[in-house]
Amino acid sequence: MIEEMKIAGCASYSVEGQSLTDLRKINFIYGANGSGKTSISRVIAAPANHSDCTIRWANERPLECLVYNADFVERNFRSSLPGIFTLGEHDAAVLDQIESARKKIAEIERDINARNIVLHGADGTGGKLRERSTLRENIENECWKVKNRYDADFQSAFAGVRNSKARFCDKILSERASNQAALHSLNDLKKRAVVIFESGLTRENAVRVPDSAELTQLEALPILAKKVVGQGDVDITALIDRLGNSDWIKQGVGYFVKSTPQCPFCQQDVNADLAKRIGDYFDEAYDRDIAAIARLIAGYEAASTTYLQVLNEISQTSSRYIKADQLASLVERVAMRLALNRQHIARKQKEPSAVVVVEDNTDLFAEIRNFLTAANAAINEHNQAVDDIHNQKKILTAEIWKYLLEENKSILDAYHSSKTAVDKAINGIEENLSIKRSQLAATQHTLRELEKGITSVQPTVSEINALLASFGFRGFKLATAGDQGNLYEIVRLDGSNAARTLSEGEKTFVTFLYFYYLIRGSVSESGITSNRVIVFDDPISSLDSDILFIVSSLIKRVFELSHARNSVIRQVFVLTHNIYFHKEVSFDPERKTKCRAHETFWIVKKIDDVSTLESFDHNPIKTSYELLWSEVRNENRSNLTIQNTLRRILENYFKILGNMDKDKIIEKFEGREKVICASLFSWVNDGSHSTHDDLYVSTDTTTVDVYLDVFRRIFEETGHKQHYSMMMGTESVPIASVSPIETASPVTNSGQDAA
């Protein structure tokens, strides 16, 4: 059956449209002419012709739709009508086979529906498919969290999938199935990504590693630890050693040479022999050591200057692989060490006899060498990557995805396990559904073949003619026609064609009867027992009041058939603008105030030339007669107007019944009650009262209670207690009890005229 409809973009419906939701077996739609009812019936009849409209079927299984509306009348009322095939009754065995086939079809359909519920859920939005969809939504969200966490670092690796949850998730799942890359640390991946994914990447020059061998060699020369002094066998040696002033004397010799024969310090003449002995003390060996110290100073100065110059040049380069702050720290440390050693060596020159210890820079030189060697290794790796950039990008991208897979392994494994289980269940259900659908098609084919063998158009002719005669239409009837007797003609009693001479009422009624029997038959030899949706759109147009009740009774029969077990009538829609017909066809003595579980009520209105639909949880259409009764039932009723309300109810009800002797009714009361009863029947002599201010009586509560009591007893004394109870809501009664009162002007619950 139809669960939901959207009517949009046709006739007076807007592009956004209006929806009928939660539709049930019986659906009543009331609306004035031109409000948009027929558009609804046309969408049901031919949804393919209304592309903007949609129909949602239960279990996504469309049914055959039979629609009675103006289009049906125009299409079918011609000189001849297609014959309606119905099942014959002469072959009980074949009928049993047909019934068996129908039961099997129903059983298969139930199996299909049950599996569809497991697959799609009871409301079409759940089941295993929803479970799989939820799994997918969850894994997409988890993958998107991963993307957001690493997007800033790995944008290039995520190229093509960065802007779509679904594509990013698909990529991760695809990589999970195929990625064989090596696993690297996150820091390594980030570091390489900065380089390899850089735009306009170029090669870098290696840096020169300064040679520290000469400095290391000079710092280790033995001359620094040697006490450079004069010859030991000169007779003044003991004095110089005791004084420890050989360096002072060596310096003084230079001054003595200039001041000879006088001493440069005491200005006295120096013995020539003393001068010779001092000269002998500072012999040739001493001079060689002094020269060695001088060479050491010069060599160390040159070597340290060159070493620092290379380091400073490296500092001026901007290589991504050399940490500038770390290099600056090393340069500062080695410059301080070299400067300190130069001071030590300079002191050796001033004090040759002193033992000088310089700073050992071996470890510092090694640290600098290792630092720069590592930088060159990184530069070399960089250059290799530049030379093979395309392949390097591919490798790094795969390694990034590998890291993401490993980091989220538990989440991905759980999803894969759950999805595998759900997929297995879905595949099993779908395979079973495929088998069931094949079985259904085969059984339906068998049913059609069985129906062809015993179908006939004659029973429908007989039944329609019997109904026409019983309803007083005796001037025409249906007769079979055509080469094979599979057509109907509307003929006069003399056999002449009557199609062109029928009145609008006759034309409408005979077409309705044709549709009524079509509901339980088919215009072909097969398909008689196929499930169907029935739509009645204003079926009583151009009919008089007598036929109105006949049509409503027949439609109610369709309602009853729709509730029957294994009925082919699965759903019924009734659309009308006629208030009386609506009240008659929708009356249900089992309904209290709210809709019953199998029905819905709708009103379609046109507001500013746009159709709108409104649903109700009760029957929204009321007659003015019912509104009068609602005033009586209302505990907060107006005491000023209640008496006249009671008089109008009696006027409506007893005038329609007729043959009512008001005097005999009045005689059943005594005293004051008799006067009140007479006043309530005053309309018999004085005419109908249409306003509430044409009769004045006391308005105190006690008087009103007496009037209400007399009003009740009038119905009891005349044998119409059941009608009183029904209208007061205290007892359920059959439809016959309310039919006579449907004569007052109709109004809707919104207060607007419904006619």
Q: What would the 3-class secondary structure string for 231-259 be?
A: CCCCCCHHHHHHHCCHHHHHHHHHHHHHH
Position 475 scores a pLDDT of 76
Instruction: Give the C-alpha separation, 575 to 537, whole Å.
Output: 5
511 phi/psi in degrees, rounded to 5: -70, -40
Q: How confident is the model at residue 167 (pLDDT cuts 50, 70, 90)?
A: very high
Percent of the chain's residues with pLDDT above 70: 80
Of the candidate ranges 294-303, 412-421, 661-670, 733-742, the one whose mean pLDDT is the lowest: 733-742
Q: Is 292's pLDDT higher than 80? A: yes
Position 452 scores a pLDDT of 60
At 189, is the secondary structure helix, strand, or coil? helix
> Between these two residues, 294 and 136, which has the higher pLDDT value?
136
Position 230 scores a pLDDT of 53
Q: Rounded mean pLDDT of 733-755?
A: 34
> Between these two residues, 415 and 607, which has the higher pLDDT value?
415
> Between these two residues, 138 and 341, which has the higher pLDDT value?
138
Query: Terminal CA-to-CA distance of the chain, rounded, Å?
Result: 31
Position 694 scores a pLDDT of 41
* Crossing angle between the packed helical segments 504-518 and 458-470, to the nearest 10 degrees: 140
Mean pLDDT, the chain, as a whole number? 80
Nearest partner of 119 among 428, 441, 435, judged by Cα: 428
Instruction: Give the C-alpha separation, 461 to 544, whole Å.
Output: 24
Q: Where is 120: in which H helix or E strand? A: helix 92-120
Instruction: Give the C-alpha separation, 706 to 708, whole Å.
Output: 5
Q: What is the separation of C-alpha 683 from the centre of its chain, rounded to a whole number of angstroms?
A: 66
Position 401 scores a pLDDT of 95
Q: Is 692's pLDDT higher than 50? A: no
| 568, 63 contact by CB (below 8 A) | no
The answer, yes or no, to whether the previous bond of 261 is cis (omega within 30 of 0) is: yes
Percent of the chain's residues with pLDDT above 90: 33
* Crossing angle between the packed helical segments 389-407 and 127-150, to the nearest 10 degrees: 120
Position 724 scores a pLDDT of 87
Position 749 scores a pLDDT of 35
Q: Is 683's pLDDT higher than 70? A: no
Of the candidate ranges 60-74, 92-106, 171-185, 400-414, the one whose mean pLDDT is the lowest: 92-106
Of the candidate ranges 10-14, 585-589, 595-599, the one whose mean pLDDT is the lowest: 585-589
Query: How do strand 569-576 and strand 26-30 relate by DSSP bridges?
Result: parallel
Q: Rounded mean pLDDT of 170-181?
A: 94
Q: Is 48 exposed, middle or buried (0-12, 13-18, 19+ CB in 10 A)?
A: exposed
> Between these two residues, 645 and 470, which has the higher pLDDT value?
645
622 phi/psi in degrees, rounded to 5: -130, 150
Encoded tokens for 605: 């209105």
Q: How confident is the model at residue 302 (pLDDT cuts 50, 70, 90)?
A: very high
Query: Between the CA of residue 438 and those of 22, 51, 432, 445, what are the distances in Å?
Result: 31, 30, 10, 11
The one-letter amino acid code at 545 reads S
| 395, 195 contact by CB (below 8 A) | no
> Between these two residues, 584 and 4, which has the higher pLDDT value?
4
Q: Rounded mean pLDDT of 389-417?
A: 93
Position 65 scores a pLDDT of 92
| 732, 726 contact by CB (below 8 A) | yes
Q: Is 235's pLDDT higher than 90? A: no
Instruction: Give the C-alpha separation, 706 to 699, whole Å.
Output: 11
Position 751 scores a pLDDT of 32
Per-residue pLDDT tens digits for 381-399: 888 878 778 888 899 999 9
Spatial strand order in the sheet of 569-576? 64-68, 532-537, 569-576, 26-30, 599-607, 610-616
Which of 210-214, 267-271, 547-551 is modeled with the greatest confidence? 210-214
Torsion of CA 344, 348, 349, 354, to 10 degrees: 150
Per-residue pLDDT tens digits for 419-460: 999 999 999 999 999 999 999 999 988 877 776 655 556 677
Query: How do strand 86-87 and strand 26-30 relate by DSSP bridges?
Result: unpaired
Position 753 scores a pLDDT of 32
At 162, is the secondary structure helix, strand, or coil? coil
Query: Between the CA of residue 391 and those of 294, 381, 387, 424, what are the distances in Å?
Result: 59, 14, 9, 39
Encoded tokens for 252: 């003084």
Query: How do strand 2-7 and strand 54-57 relate by DSSP bridges?
Result: antiparallel
Q: Is 147's pLDDT higher than 70? A: yes
Domains, the chain, ordered by start: 2-85+457-616 (3.40.50.300), 91-201+389-445 (no CATH), 233-282 (no CATH), 621-748 (no CATH)
253 phi/psi in degrees, rounded to 5: -60, -35
Query: Between the CA of residue 486 and those of 81, 251, 459, 460, 746, what are the distances in Å?
Result: 9, 150, 12, 11, 44
Q: How confident is the model at residue 260 (pLDDT cuts 50, 70, 90)?
A: low
Task: Give 693-701's long-range contacts (Cβ < 8 A, gap of 24+).
Answer: 693/644, 694/644, 695/643, 695/644, 695/647, 697/643, 699/639, 699/640, 700/639, 701/639
Encoded tokens for 307: 């070493």
Of the candidate ranges 254-263, 304-313, 533-542, 584-593, the one whose mean pLDDT is the lowest: 254-263
Q: What is the separation of C-alpha 217 from the centre of its chain, rounded to a whole number of angstroms?
A: 79
Q: Tokens 């290589």 appear where?
A: 319
Instruction: Give the C-alpha separation, 216 to 362, whole Å.
Output: 7
